[in-house]
Amino acid sequence: MSPTNIFAPASTSAKWIFDLSLFVLSVTAVIFLVVFALLAYSVVKFRRRRGDDGREPPQVYGSNQVELAWTVLPILIVVTLFMATARVVTAIQNASPRAGAVEVIAIGHQYWWEYRFPDLNVVTANELHLPVSDPAHPSPTFITLLSADTDHSFWVPRLAGKTDLIPNRVNRMWIEPTEPGLYLGQCAQYCGTQHAKMLLRVYVDSREAFDRWIQEQSQPAGTGGTVSVGQKIFESTSCINCHSVTGTAANGRFGPDLTHLMSRETLAAGAVPNTPDNLRRWIQNPDAMKPGSRMPPMGLGDRELDAVTAYLETLR
C-alpha cells in the first residue's frame, strides 16, 4: 500500500474526509451506472436494423413530467452532496483546542520545514513528532501554519486534508492521529526548484515515546563542556548565521535547527538518509544532493569537513 494512500485514513479528520469521499463516490457511481445502462439499452434496442425504411421514428416533444424529473432530481442530488461536504468542512474548521491539545507552529521555508512547540520549548526541522490520541483522553495537535518566503502546502494524506502556508497569513489545521507510525507527505504547492524534495515526515508516537522525545529535544546540545576542533570551525564559519545549536554561539534561523541533528533519520527535508557519509557530502556541496538548495557550498577543505562532520555527529 502506498504510504500516502488517501483511502487509508489514520486520524479523525482524515477519516471524516474518507467517509465523505466514499459517500460522494457511491452517489456518483449509481448515477454513472443508471445513465450508462440506459444508454447501452437504447443503443442496442434502437440500433439500425436490416429492413428499416430509413425514416425517423415518431418524435415526442414537451413532456412536463420528464423535464421536471430531470431538473428536480439533479438539484436534489447536488444539494445533498453540498450539504454533506459543508458538514465535514465546518466540523473540521470549527474544532478548537481543548485541554491536552499539543500546539505546533509549522513554518514553510524554501525547501524545508521548521517546527516549533511554543509551550514545550522545542524547535526542530523536517521530522515532526506527535502523540497518538487515545479516544478516552483525546490529545489532538493544533498546527499554526506560516511561511518564511513563498507559498507552500502541508499535506500528509493519511493524517489530514491539505492546508496552505501563505506569507503574511496565519492558517490553522489539526491532526488527531489514531495509530502510531510514520506518515509521509510532500509540500503540495509548487514553491521553487527543490519543491519535489520538500518532503513531510510525521512520526506518531505513543504518549510515553512522545514525552521522551520532547524531553530530549528541549535539552541544549550536549557538547560535554569541551569545544572540539569541529565546533571551532563551525562557529567561526558562517554556518552559525543560518543555523542554531542551543547552548552555543550558533543562533541563525535561515536554515534548520541543528541542536539535535542526529535524532533525525533524514537530511534536507527527507532528501537523503542521515548517514555520516551523506552529512559530509551535504556540507561539502548541498547542490550535489539538492540542486538549487538555499545552503551554499562553504568551501571547506577535507580535514575541516571531517572535523565539522564529527562535531555535528555529537549533536544527539
Q: Are strands 181-186 and 199-205 parallel, antiparallel or unpaired?
A: antiparallel
Taking the C-alpha atoms of residue 245 and residue 48, their distance in angstroms, rounded to an integer, is: 81
Residue type, 299: G
What is the Cα Rg of the chain in Å? 28
Q: Does 24 bind ligand HEC (CB under 6 A)?
A: no
CA angle 165, 268, 168 (to 5 degrees): 20
Which of 126, 189, 231, 259 binds ligand HEC (CB under 6 A)? It is 126
Q: Does 272 bind ligand HEC (CB under 6 A)?
A: no
CB neighbours of residue 230 within 10 Å: 19
Q: Which does 112 bind (CB under 5 to 8 A by kind): ligand HEC, Cu ion, none?
A: ligand HEC
CB neighbours of residue 172 within 10 Å: 13
Nearer to ligand HEC, 105 or 240 (CB): 240
Q: Does 36 bind ligand HEC (CB under 6 A)?
A: no
Question: Which of the stretches 26-34, 131-139, 154-162, 234-242 binds ligand HEC when contact is defined by CB under 6 A?
Answer: 234-242
Helix (H) or strand (E) holding 29: helix 12-45
Grid coordinates representing 76? Answer: 436534489
Nearer to ligand HEC, 13 or 284 (CB): 284
Q: Which does 125 bind (CB under 5 to 8 A by kind): Cu ion, ligand HEC, none?
A: ligand HEC
Q: Residues 6 or more apart from 231 whose CB is under 8 A from it?
A: 223, 248, 311
Nearer to ligand HEC, 130 or 267 (CB): 267
Nearer to ligand HEC, 214 or 242 (CB): 242
Residues that bind ligand HEC (CB under 6 A): 111-112, 125-126, 194, 234, 237-239, 241-243, 254-256, 258, 261, 264, 267-269, 279, 282-283, 290, 293-296, 298, 300, 308, 312
